[in-house]
Amino acid sequence: MRNDDKATGNTDARTGPSGRWGLRGAILALLAVAAGTVWFTNAWLTARFSESTRMRSELRSVLYTGNLLSELQRTSVVPLLLARDPTLIAALSGNNFSNSSARLISAQKEIGAASIRLLDASGRLVGSTDRNLLGRNYVQEPFFVEPLRSKDTVFSVSSNPQGAYEFTYSRAIVAEGRTLGVVIVAADLTPLVRSWAGISDAIAVSDSEGNIILSTEPRWRGLTLPEALSVRSAPSAISRAFQVTADWASAPVDAYVEGKAVMQTETRIPFRGWTMTSFTAYDSVRERVNAVLALVIMGFAILLAAVFYLLSRRARVESAAYMRESADLRALNMRLTREIAERERMQKELRVAEQTVQQSSKLAALGEMSAGVSHELNQPLAAMKTYLAGARLLLQRGRDEEALSSFQRIDDLVERMGAITRQLKSYARKGGEAFEPVDLRTALSSALVMMEPQLRSNTIRLQRNIPRYPVMVLCDRIRLEQIIINLLRNAIDAIKQSRDPAIEITVGSGSHAFLSVRDNGPGVSDLENLFEPFFTTKKPGEGTGLGLAISSGIAADFGGRLTAHNASDEGGRGAVFELELPLYDPERRTGSGMAAE
């Protein structure tokens, strides 16, 4: 054995220096081959992938052009159809435009246009999907003048005050040989631009004069292409389009923007001389090239690692290290097993604690419901006391009929108290079962009758702004009156110290029905906690702090909301409470019922 060891040691000694130099030469040669392979692969793949990216960009431009033309052609047919609409012709002939805007809004929903406007023969806007524009005059606008001259559908491009371009088709409405007006339909190209921005890096559409009229970047609109490319801005979709790794990765370069290379593709649009220009970054090219290069480098790295591994003489040390790591992993596995058991025990304890918290929450809810019923009964009790005192005085003076009227009101209050107690279940769950169409004006009148003694005793100046038309909502009438009474009571309490106490009540409708109660008191100091249960700014004994919390919950059950803010934000004084409720729509309700069946 000793002789064999000596022989082996002599062989290593003889071949050691030459073997080390041969190993180093092999490693250097392998590195040189790897560097040449990476350089050649990078150049070849960059050229191939750049051409592929350019072709995809051109195909996307052709697709975008087709979509744009399709949208414009689809919109161009609409003015011809609306110009023959009997409803619009009758409205222009009889100067009755009460239903014109509703008809245009209905047509807009069906065709998906950006907007539809109806002008009479004088250029005045008499119908529009945007009611805020009614009454304006467009007698000098091209989309009004040109249809009157050509008697055909006319396309025009105009800019709006926001800097965007509006693409409209307009056509004169002629009946019995007489021009009655002009209908204007604006094409909705916003979804197209939004889809371009989600797929392409940057897209710009220029008119025949070279001005950009459509772009994924709003700042480009109205500029020429050279002006747009010179715009410097903060990182955005444009900056992402121009960011590339290096010039060598994106050769050949079509254009430079802010010192960075981009690929530019131009497509002619067969419509009024328009042109679509797309800018594509080389990021995808670089990523694909890098992916292949990574595989190549990984292959050489694995080969080099295999050489080093085969020539390594520390296999036993590594094996021992692996054995130690295996022992450490077994110990770690045991610790994890113990931690899992401890976690399961803690989860069981957590479930028990959650059940306890739920039971406590139920008890707290019962207490809040009791206090809420007490708070709501205080209102009719206070009113009954006032009516009883008035009835006693009327009986003493021999005015029996007026006293009977007071007793009738007391009877109504007793009925109302019974209704309030019957609603105890509604405080324990969301929603109600007695929903019916209710006129918001009628509910306000009933609430004012209830609060009439308090309003008179405090000599409060009451201002009501109520429309003549019904404002219908779908809700529980009694619970709606509770909200209004709570708001009135809060307003009365807030203006007790005012020299000229006043309350302003406003009822109206738009997208929603709303009721506003405004006082001229000192306002609310803590708006964040205003609708929290048991929060009150009154003295002890004067309030439970549940009125607004209950009212907010009822409004939520009706699908609306109750908000508050100080009138100082609007240049006044006092507090403003606003109740918003969805408008009652019998057709929608009927339609949903049929769909359910």
Q: Output the pLDDT for position 174.
A: 87
Which residues have C-beta within 8 Å of that of residue 137, sequence separation ≥ 6? 122, 123, 124, 125
Cα separation of 180 and 173, whole Å?
6
| Tokens 């992993």 belong to residue | 329
Closest to 237 measured CA to CA, from 278, 270, 201: 201
Q: Are 215 and 203 in contact (CB under 8 A)?
A: yes
What kind of architecture, by CATH, is found in domain 28-72+192-230+239-285? 2-Layer Sandwich (3.30)
With respect to CATH, is domain 84-188 assigned 1.10.3720.10?
no
Residues of the chain with CATH 3.30.450.20: 84-188
Rounded to 10 degrees, the C-alpha dihedral 410/413/418/420 comes to -160
Q: What is the C-alpha radius of gyration for the chain, rounded to an integer number of angstroms?
A: 40
d(C-alpha 530, C-alpha 528), whole Å: 6
Q: Whole-angstrom Cα distance, residue 430 to residue 426?
A: 7
- d(CA 8, CA 14) in angstroms, rounded, equals 10
Phi, psi torsion values for 261, nearest 5 degrees? -90, 140
Q: Angle, nearest 10°, between helix axes 477-494 and 547-557?
A: 150
pLDDT at 367: 52
**Total-model pTM:** 0.42
Q: Work out the burial of residue 291: count CB atoms within 10 Å of its CB; fewer than 13 is exposed, 13-18 middle, 19 or more buried.
A: exposed
C-alpha count within 13 angstroms, C-beta hemisphere, residue 437 = 9
Cis amide bond preceding 147, omega within 30: no
pLDDT for position 240: 47
Q: Report, as ranges of residue numbers, the positions in the chain whose pLDDT lies below 70.
A: 1-24, 47, 49, 161-163, 200, 231-262, 282-289, 311, 313-316, 318, 351, 353-376, 419-433, 453, 533-546, 569-572, 588-597
10 Å CB burial of residue 360 (0-12, 13-18, 19+) is exposed
Q: What is the pLDDT of residue 12?
A: 44
Residue type, 550: I
**At 53, is the secondary structure helix, strand, or coil?**
helix
How far is residue 165 from each of residues 63, 130, 162, 190, measured CA to CA in Å? 22, 17, 9, 11
Q: How crowded is residue 576: how many other Cβ atoms within 10 Å of its Cβ? A: 22
Separation between Cα atoms, residue 511 and residue 488, nearest integer Å: 25
Q: Which residue has the tokens 């998906």?
A: 112
The tokens describing 316, both together, are: 């036993």
> Is the Cβ–Cβ distance between 417 and 380 less than 8 Å?
yes
Full DSSP string of 542-593: S--S-HHHHHHHHHHHTT-EEEEEEGGGGTS-SEEEEEEEPBP-HHHHHHHH
Q: Is 176 left (phi over 0), alpha (psi -120 to 50) or beta?
A: left
d(CA 8, CA 462): 115
CA distance 382 to 402: 20
Decide if 144 contacts 182 (C-beta within 8 A).
yes
CATH number of 435-582: 3.30.565.10
Residue 486, CB-side half-sphere exposure with 13 Å CA sphere: 28
Number of Cβ atoms within 10 Å of the Cβ of 81: 13
Measuring CA to CA, how many Å separate 302 from each of 25, 26, 113, 272, 295? Answer: 18, 15, 61, 60, 10
* Domain limits, CATH 3.30.565.10, in the chain: 435-582
Length of the chain: 597
Q: Tell me, what amino acid is at 365?
A: A
- Give the three-state DSSP class for 280: strand
Helix 400-422 to helix 440-450 angle (10° resolution) is: 120
Contacts of 252 (CB under 8 A, 6+ apart): 50
- Residue 466, pLDDT score: 93
pLDDT at residue number 561? 92
Q: 3-class SS at 250?
A: coil
Name the token pair of 76: 């161009």
Block residue for tokens 């048991």: 534
Contact assessment for residue 154 and residue 143, using Cβ atoms and an 8 Å cutoff: yes
**Structure confidence at residue 471 (pLDDT):** 93
CA–CA separation, 95 and 588 (whole Å) = 30
In this structure, are residues 187 and 113 in contact, taking their beta carbons and an 8 Å threshold? yes
